[in-house]
Copies of this chain bind each other. A is one copy, B any other.
């Protein structure tokens, strides 16, 4: 029974989330029953959706319970096994949460997935070749449905979802335009991720100004938009959408603290005959194999070179997560445990 440090949600945020919402707890792992494996986590995945689950609000997912381990994706290796399907040393991805170890009942569908780290580093299975990559794939392929030559825009372009979106859009012959915070991220989006252009939203005080920059970056208008942030960025993009444009709504991080986040010009949905559609990738498990195959090939061939921000040690998880919500990460935010 190894010691197992955990981070619990101790109390819910009042407005902005803070480190005091979390609590580091020392526990031990229980003995394994038949059909269970013990997974030692190498990486925790930190993702914006977790902020929404910290609220006690009606949403697509049940709220994160108080006094329990923060839920989230993990990548690691099997440390002990009482299942014939898993051997010690197998590399696996699951939903182990913010702790050093997890005990997994392998008969639960989707609870654990063996991964091959020959060509793809283990950590990427939490990013480009994992849930964030599949999220980009679903929004692009199933909602935006881009044609070659169209212009596709994504916000939070250097994040785990945005960087995959860019590579997937380029693979379909689209013009890919990113929106990101700061000159370093924008330079990286163009130089390393293959975006045709990237706009630094921090250079713009309002939607009108950002919209003007979008006009320059998207001379033929915008046909598809993948929304990660909401607020001013959404308003600016709406002003540049072409007729019959499609908007995949994946996240609205700007509103997660409960601040009002209105859409200024909903009438544009009518005048430009737009489709605006929200989705959650976990409700579309049927597309994961196809999406993961394409994403794995893009990473394996070097066409998608995802960047990672890695915090060290479980105790660093809360601050790293709060930094992610502020856009302080650069690429996929992970916590490395060993």
Contacts and interface: CB of A to CB of B under 8 A. Distances in A.
Interface residues of A, number: 33
A263 interface: yes
A260 interface: yes
A283 interface: yes
A88 interface: no
B276 A269 contact: yes
A243 to B, nearest CB: 7
A193 interface: no
B262 A266 contact: yes
Interface string A310-331: 0000000000000000000000
How many identical subunits does the complex contain?
Answer: 2
Nearest to A59: B271
A261 B265 CA distance: 7
Contact of A251 (B264, B270, B272): B270
A1 B67 CA distance: 87
A26 B306 CA distance: 70
A277 interface: yes
A328 to B, nearest CB: 23
A128 interface: no
A157 B283 CA distance: 34
A234 interface: yes
A272 B266 contact: no
A269 B277 contact: yes
17 contacts: A59-B271, A60-B243, A60-B270, A252-B266, A255-B267, A262-B262, A262-B263, A262-B264, A263-B266, A266-B266, A269-B277, A269-B278, A270-B278, A271-B278, A273-B278, A273-B279, A273-B283
